[in-house]
């Protein structure tokens, strides 16, 4: 679906394999209609009586673009789509959709999806605190890991390489469950971060989702951290919301990232927020990446790349930060498959200010392989439209257009993640 008048070089660059630098493992199990609807929806709730989550931009996109990969006509009715999906089985569907994305490497947050209502819906069937899962995906490790594909499996299903991104809040959750005294807990936390980072290409934090991106740029005082650690160990099953401990965790991750030359991903904007009403999650306006600028500035001298994920509807702010800070990178992740038919404007808004060498592609793929496929499809359509416009008005040369498409699609990611 690329513009007909694109020159071949630009077309080739758009169709070249992508590095999907931020995605989650997709569900491995066959899904009921109720489960699938919850995974389409954004808030972890069933659609109100008389409605369906298929009546969303994303749902319409699934019927339009994913149906043909399942041998159906475009715009297949939801029931037909789900029947065919069940018929083929989750494994085959995942293979078709992930391979269809045209991705050469997946960088996978292999923790259970921390934002998808879907994952919440799924795991809340097995776990008692589904409400938490909806936002933080902090299901018990086992059940959580069991129901989504690992990084390696994502690669196998998609015919691509795969590497791990370590979500630091998940590591804290695991450590909190085992430690007994504050000092051990803090030591183990540092050791675990280092150990996991040694096998990963990047780190990721969802702190913006928990308490907002306006993070105090100063490391917390040791005393406050110890005190918070003691409170934490008294209730290790809860989602961590203590700001001192979250900042300590973040700075521990920064130390590891600096030592190993790894980038640090920050969830920002709505891709990183479920209901601002539950679980002390930050209200949506506090996920504006502008609010991270003081903290990002503190990381600049350390040379730790900061990668802003999703960002919508604050992607103009994110693009500005990517221009101001030499170490800040940006994508619109999930915003593309979720805004679907309107995604071209969203990407074009990101292109307004962001340096071309600071833009990355990710699908933000979560729970459903449809997200990964649609993320790549809408990225190529949206960038294709942006290039066609700029070539049509003579703003860019064909050679620049092809070069920029290559940078955003894979070149920048290879550089910053050292792939």
Query: Which is closer to a copy of itself, CB of 128 or CB of 178?
Result: 128
CA distances 123 to 104, 129, 151, Å, are 29, 9, 19
CB of 86 to a copy of itself, least distance (A): 23
Query: Which is closer to a copy of itself, CB of 225 or CB of 274?
Result: 274
CB of 75 to a copy of itself, least distance (A): 4
CB of 386 to a copy of itself, least distance (A): 8
CA distances 400 to 120, 323, 397, 403, 404, Å, are 43, 19, 5, 5, 6
Task: Provide Rg for the chain, Cα atoms.
Answer: 20
Strand partners, 163: 107
> 210 near 247, Cβ under 8 Å?
no
> 74 near 67, Cβ under 8 Å?
yes
CB of 275 to a copy of itself, least distance (A): 5
Query: Which is closer to a copy of itself, CB of 96 or CB of 316?
Result: 316
Identify which of 184, 192, 171, 198 has the alpha carbon closest to the alpha carbon of residue 257.
Answer: 198
CB of 308 to a copy of itself, least distance (A): 13
CB of 362 to a copy of itself, least distance (A): 18
Burial of 8 (0-12, 13-18, 19+ CB in 10 A): exposed
CB of 216 to a copy of itself, least distance (A): 13
Query: Which is closer to a copy of itself, CB of 59 or CB of 100?
Result: 59
Q: What is the distance between the alpha carbons of residues 333 and 311, in angstroms, rounded to a whole number? A: 8
Q: What is the distance between the alpha carbons of residues 287 and 305, in angstroms, rounded to a whole number? A: 19
CB of 28 to a copy of itself, least distance (A): 26
Query: Which is closer to a copy of itself, CB of 113 or CB of 153?
Result: 113
Q: Please, what's the b/e burial string for 319-346 (b: 16 or more CB within 10 A of its CB; e: otherwise)?
A: bbbbeebebbbbbbbbbbbbbbeebbeb
Query: Which is closer to a copy of itself, CB of 98 or CB of 386?
Result: 386
| Tokens standing for residue 379 | 């990225």
> 253 near 195, Cβ under 8 Å?
no
Identify which of 199, 81, 194 has the alpha carbon closest to the alpha carbon of residue 151.
Answer: 199
Query: Which is closer to a copy of itself, CB of 243 or CB of 284?
Result: 284
Query: Which is closer to a copy of itself, CB of 196 or CB of 310?
Result: 310
């Amino acid at each position: 679906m690329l513009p007909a008048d694109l020159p071949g070089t630009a077309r080739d660059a758009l169709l070249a394999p992508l590095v999907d630098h931020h995605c989650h493992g997709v569900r491995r199990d066959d899904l009921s209609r109720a489960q699938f609807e919850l995974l389409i929806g954004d808030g972890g709730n069933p659609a109100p009586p008389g409605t369906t989550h298929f009546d969303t931009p994303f749902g319409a996109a699934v019927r339009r673009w994913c149906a043909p990969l399942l041998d159906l006509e475009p715009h297949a009715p939801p029931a037909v789509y789900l029947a065919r999906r069940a018929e083929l089985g989750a494994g085959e569907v995942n293979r078709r959709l992930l391979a269809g994305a045209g991705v050469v490497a997946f960088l996978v947050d292999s923790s259970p999806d921390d934002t998808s209502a879907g994952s919440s819906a799924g795991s809340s069937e097995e776990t008692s605190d589904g409400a938490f899962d909806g936002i933080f995906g902090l299901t018990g490790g086992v059940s959580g890991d069991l129901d989504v594909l690992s990084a390696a499996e994502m690669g196998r299903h998609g015919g691509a390489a795969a590497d791990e991104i370590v979500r630091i809040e998940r590591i804290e959750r695991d450590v909190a469950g085992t430690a007994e005294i504050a000092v051990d807990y803090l030591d183990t936390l540092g050791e675990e971060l280092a150990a996991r980072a040694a096998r990963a290409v990047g780190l990721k934090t969802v702190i913006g989702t928990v308490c907002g991106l306006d993070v105090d740029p100063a490391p917390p005082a040791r005393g406050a951290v110890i005190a918070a650690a003691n409170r934490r160990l008294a209730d290790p099953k809860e989602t961590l919301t203590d700001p001192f401990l979250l900042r300590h965790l973040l700075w521990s991750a920064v130390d590891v990232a600096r030592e190993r030359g790894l980038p640090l991903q920050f969830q920002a904007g709505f891709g990183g927020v479920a209901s601002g009403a539950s679980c002390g999650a930050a209200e949506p306006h506090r996920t504006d990446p502008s609010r991270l600028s003081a903290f990002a500035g503190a990381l600049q001298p350390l040379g730790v790349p900061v990668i802003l994920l999703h960002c919508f509807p604050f992607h103009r702010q994110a693009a500005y930060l990517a221009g101001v800070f030499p170490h800040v990178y940006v994508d619109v992740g999930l915003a593309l498959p979720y805004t679907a038919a309107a995604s071209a404007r969203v990407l074009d808004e990101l292109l307004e200010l962001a340096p071309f060498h600071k833009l990355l592609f990710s699908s933000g793929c979560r729970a459903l392989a449809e997200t990964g496929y649609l993320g790549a499809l809408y990225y190529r359509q949206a960038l294709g439209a942006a290039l066609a416009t700029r070539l049509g008005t003579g703003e860019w040369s064909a050679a620049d257009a092809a070069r920029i498409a290559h940078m955003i699609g894979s070149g920048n990611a290879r550089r910053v993640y050292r792939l």
